[in-house]
Structure 1
C-alpha cells in the first residue's frame, strides 16, 4: 500500500457498507479472520480533516445528530480524511452490547434530546474496517492490509475503539463468544477486497441462538387467512407468579403447523389471558396453557421478551391436551 500522507484536508467519497452472508464457520479456516459480531447499528463514519464527522446508516441515512458523542473522533483524526466502517453499540457493565438500551438512542433527530441520551446511555463505535485515508481508496486492498492501516490510525477513546481479530482458530473464537454471551462471529477472508453495497461471500456471519421450550397462551389472527388461523402465537415461561409472557412468535411456522394449531386452539380456547402479567397485544385470542413449543431466539431483552424468536416445532411429548 502506498505511503499515507497527512496534514491536508480531503473530501472523502460516500461509501456504502459491505455486508456478510449468513452461514456456518468456514473450515478450513487458516485463510480467514474472525471478529466478534456486535449487536448494534451499522454505521459508516467519515471525517474530512477539519475535525467534523458525518455518520451514515446502512440505509444511507444521515445519523450524525443521533450520536453526538462520536464527534470527538473527528478531533482525534484532525488533519486526516478518513472513512471507516463499524457498529454503534451500547455496552453493559460486562462490556457486552445491549440492543435494548441502544433502541432508546435510535432514530433521535433532535440534537438536545440526543445530547441528554448520550449522557444517560452513551454509545460506542466498534470500528472494524477502513476504506479511505487521505486521498487513498483502500477498497482493492486485502482485508489484512486495511486492518493494518486501521491500526495505524490508533482509534481509541471513551466512545470508539478498533477491536482486534484472530487469524484462523475459528472454533476457539466461537467458544469464547458463546461463553461471553455475545451475539456471534463474523469470518472475513484475509485476502478479501471491500466491495461497497454488496453482500459478499468473502464475509460470513454466524449467530449464536438459544433454544428453549415455551408455553403457548394465546395467538393472533393470520392476516388474509380464514378466521381462526394463527399468524403468530403468544408464548410464556414459568415465573414466580405463574406463566410470564415472553413474546410473540410467528416466523418459521409452516402452513401445516398453522392448520394443526387452528384445530387445537378451537378445543382449548378460553376467554381470559393465562399470563400472570399484562399482555398488550391487539387482537389477542387466549387458550389454555397446555401446548408447548420449541423456539430459538438470539437473546432476552431487558423487558424479559425473546429477541428475534423463530418457531421450530410443537413439542407433543410435553403437550397436555387432556
Structure 2
C-alpha cells in the first residue's frame, strides 16, 4: 500500500450530455480532489499532486473508524454555502497552514467529503474491477449518516441529471462507463465531464492594450471591500464593442490600480479605470487560483458592489 500511486484518474472534457445504458452519471462536485487512506492509526488525505492535506481537515481526521483499515477512497472535499459548494471557501480551508487558523475555519466552514470511488478495500486492490463492482462494494461498507461524509449517488439518465444540476446552479456532471477500471494518473474517455456555462457580473478595473489598441478587460469581484482580480476577457468583444467602450475607458482612467493585488502582466500594456462598470460574462469554471477560465463578455451594466461579489456569485 505504501507504494500506491496517489495520482487520481481524471475525466476528459465532453462537449454535450448523452444517455447510454452502458454508462452511469454523477454530479460533479466543485471542490478539492482528495484521496483518503483509512487505517487504525488515522486518516491520511492527499491531493491530486500527492501533497499531504490531513492537517487541513481535522473533522475527517477523527473518523478513522468509519471504514475498514486498508481502505482507499477517491472523492472531493467541498464546503457548502447554503446548499451549494463554494470553491472560494474550500480554497480558504485548503490553503490554511497555522493550526489556530485551521481550527477556526473548520468551525466556520465545515468540510464535507463527497466520496465517489473505492480503490482499495481492506488492503485489496480494487482498481482493475469494473466501476459498478467498486460502487457496490463502497455502498456495502458505507458507515451511514456521518455529517462529514457524503456518498455520491449514481444515476442512469445523463440528460435529466444535467438539466437538474443546471437548475440548481451546480457545475455539471461526470459520465462514467460502468465497466471502467481505475487508471491512476491518467485521463480516460471512459470518464467524461460535461459542464454548464457559468455566469458572473464582474467589475471592470482596467484594460490591456496591444499595439496601442484595447485587447482585453481586467475583471474583478469584491471580497468585502476588496476588489480581487479574477482574470481578463476579450472574447465576445468586436470592433464595434470597443468603439462603444472607448469613451468610458478614456474618461474613467486613473493612475492607481483599483484591485487589492494588481495583476502582473508582462505581455501587454495596462490602463486602470474607476470601478464603475460591470461586465456580464460566461465562463467554464474557476481555476485553483480563483481565476475565470475561458470567459466571454456578454454585455455591460453599472457596477454594484453587492452583485459583483464572490458572495453573490456563490463562490
Which category describes the TM-score, using the shorter chain as reference length? Answer: 0.7 to 0.9
Distance in 1 between the 2:220 and 2:99 partners? Answer: 39
**For residues 269 and 217 of structure 1, do their structure 2 counterparts lie closer, same or farther at Cα, with a shift above 3 Å needed?**
farther
Q: In the alignment, what sits opposite 1:136?
A: 124
Q: In the alignment, what sits opposite 2:44?
A: 54
Q: In the alignment, what sits opposite 2:313?
A: none
Distance in 2 between the 1:231 and 1:126 partners? Answer: 38
Distance in 2 between the 1:112 and 1:215 partners? Answer: 33
Asked if residue 68 in structure 1 is aligned to residue 58 in structure 2, the reply is yes
Residue 173 of structure 1 is aligned with which of 139, 161, 178? 161
Q: How many residues align?
A: 282
Provide structure 1 residue ranges, at least 5 long, that are not aligned to the other structure: 1-9, 237-244, 301-305
Distance in 2 between the 1:257 and 1:59 partners? Answer: 40
Q: In the alignment, what sits opposite 2:71?
A: 82
Asked if residue 270 in structure 1 is aligned to residue 254 in structure 2, the reply is no
**For residues 288 and 114 of structure 1, do their structure 2 counterparts lie closer, same or farther at Cα, with a shift above 3 Å needed?**
closer
Which protein shows a greater Rg? 1
Distance in 1 between the 2:72 and 2:187 partners? Answer: 19
Asked if residue 297 in structure 1 is aligned to residue 283 in structure 2, the reply is yes
Residue 147 of structure 2 is aligned with which of 144, 151, 158? 158
After TM superposition, the score normalised by the length of structure 1 is 0.73
Q: In the alignment, what sits opposite 1:110?
A: 98
Q: In the alignment, what sits opposite 2:267?
A: none
- CA offset digits 1:28-63 (Å, max 9, x no partner): 42111111111100000011x314111000111101
Distance in 2 between the 1:315 and 1:111 partners? Answer: 44
- Give the conservation status (yes or no) of the 8 Å contact 2:72–2:120: yes
Distance in 1 between the 2:60 and 2:171 partners? Answer: 23
- Give the conservation status (yes or no) of the 8 Å contact 2:230–2:292: no
**For residues 262 and 195 of structure 1, do their structure 2 counterparts lie closer, same or farther at Cα, with a shift above 3 Å needed?**
farther
Distance in 1 between the 2:275 and 2:78 partners? Answer: 40
Q: In the alignment, what sits opposite 2:6?
A: 15
Q: How many angstroms does 1:134 deviate by?
A: 1.4
Q: How many angstroms does 1:250 deviate by?
A: 2.3
- Give the conservation status (yes or no) of the 8 Å contact 2:199–2:280: yes
**For residues 261 and 123 of structure 1, do their structure 2 counterparts lie closer, same or farther at Cα, with a shift above 3 Å needed?**
same
Q: How many angstroms does 1:280 deviate by?
A: 3.9
Q: In the alignment, what sits opposite 1:242?
A: none
**For residues 215 and 186 of structure 1, do their structure 2 counterparts lie closer, same or farther at Cα, with a shift above 3 Å needed?**
closer
- Give the conservation status (yes or no) of the 8 Å contact 2:206–2:271: yes
Provide structure 2 residue ranges, at least 5 long, that are not aligned to the other structure: 222-226, 263-269, 302-315
